[in-house]
Amino acid sequence: MSFDINNLRIGIVGLGYVGLPLAVEFGKKYPTVGFDIKADRVAELEGGTDSTLECSSEELAEATHLSFASDSAALADCNFYIVTVPTPIGDGNRPLLTPLKMASRLLGSVISKGDTVVYESTVYPGATEEFCVPFLEQGSGFTMNEEFFVGYSPERINPGDKEHRLPSILKVTSGSNAEAAEFVDAVYATIITAGTHKASSIKVAEAAKVIENTQRDVNIALVNELAMIFDRVGIDTEEVLEAAGTKWNFLPFRPGLVGGHCIGIDPYYLTYKAQQLGYHPQMILAGRRINDNMSLYVASQVVKLMLKKSIQPSSARVLMLGLAFKENCPDVRNTKVVDIVNELTTYGATVDVHDPWCDADEAKHEYGLDLVAEPQNGAYDVVIIAVAHDEFRALGADGIRAFGKETSVLYDIKYVLPPELVDDRL
């Protein structure tokens, strides 16, 4: 069966942080349908607005061949589909593959002979062929590599990063057979200026993605553990890391909270597969335990500082500066700031959360938090810098200290301020 790159009609399933930039880039060159099950998401994009802030109104307007839909019938005329739905974790940190199942069933009902379906969602090695393809085959009545083809090209979007955009990030590609792999690679090469890397199999491409973030998770866990050790020694972690960093091959990782949709989740996909095969990962899960508990460690450090200043946690007012999982980004998925809030409230403290980047309705829906639009000066016993938004950096030490009472505690998780201007930092 021949592949025709000159007759592409692209269908993107899922218009979040990953899917929308893809739809925009392809929509500059090819007839492209951006599909999402959320009608309100489609409506805002049709109005030229992206609430994730990944694409500007100007960028949306540049995609002149792009249309949006929440009705799957709009996908029927496409012949090259890309699935970009989320892959979260559920109870017991097990992969939650329901979005992938729904997307695969949907596409199984619309694909035609000769079509190609590419998955970008992060999964464990083998998931595309073992989990997704059966739904495509059942829904369509076709057989992979006979009537339709499959590929996997892991997403590498970094939410909020305006320097590393989709076209400038090298793309790993793969296909269900040699011809499909060539075709998938060629299609992506038309929009990726940084180039492509064609993996030998779908499983290799899946594994490459999942270890990218697993490696980062383990390295962050190491420096988080070092931070806890250096606190007991009585020395500043950042100062130690700067000194060690004078050696050319020292890796510049920093301690912090590990949230978001990638680093704190992807390792569980790999460990799930490993355990299915009878191997119990040790280092990966040890890193996960450390990083998952850093919010509790921060909360305990803050409570100790409060007690040293004779501030009773049970009656304290705390201001949390930041809710998003990273700076200059509205994404609150799997944010670990919430764990600090919840832990401090168990002590009886009242915690206000302020984040100029985050949507108040989303914070309320996801976590039951009512964001504070304008924190009151001089009202707080504790101020915690949880996210390094530019707005908080611009306030400086005086501006941030102004939120607190005269004897308040200022704790800096993200190294926004010099060490001598805060009571402590991670």
The residues that are catalytic are 262
| Token pair in block for residue 11 | 């269908």
For residues 348 and 315, the answer to whether their CB atoms sit within 8 Å is: yes
Residues in the chain: 426
- Strands across the sheet containing 32-35: 66-69, 32-35, 10-13, 80-83, 116-119, 149-152
- Three-class SS string for 183-241? HHHHHHHCCCCCCEEECCCHHHHHHHHHHHHHHHHHHHHHHHHHHHHHHHHCCCHHHHH
Q: Which long-range contacts (CB under 8 A, 24 or more apart) does 55-64 make?
A: 55/20, 55/21, 55/24, 59/24, 60/24, 62/24, 62/28, 63/23, 63/24, 63/25, 63/26, 63/27, 63/28, 63/32, 64/27, 64/28
Q: Is 137 exposed, middle or buried (0-12, 13-18, 19+ CB in 10 A)?
A: middle
Query: Which residues, other chains included, contact 174 with Cβ-Cβ below 8 Å and sequence gap of 6+?
Result: 151, 152, 153, 181, 184, 198, 199, 200, 201, 202, 204, 205
Find the helix or strand (DSSP H, E) in which 303 lies.
Answer: helix 294-308
What DSSP assignment string belongs to 6-74? GG--EEEE--STTHHHHHHHHHTTS-EEEE-S-HHHHHHHHTT--TTSSS-HHHHHH-TTEEEESSGGG
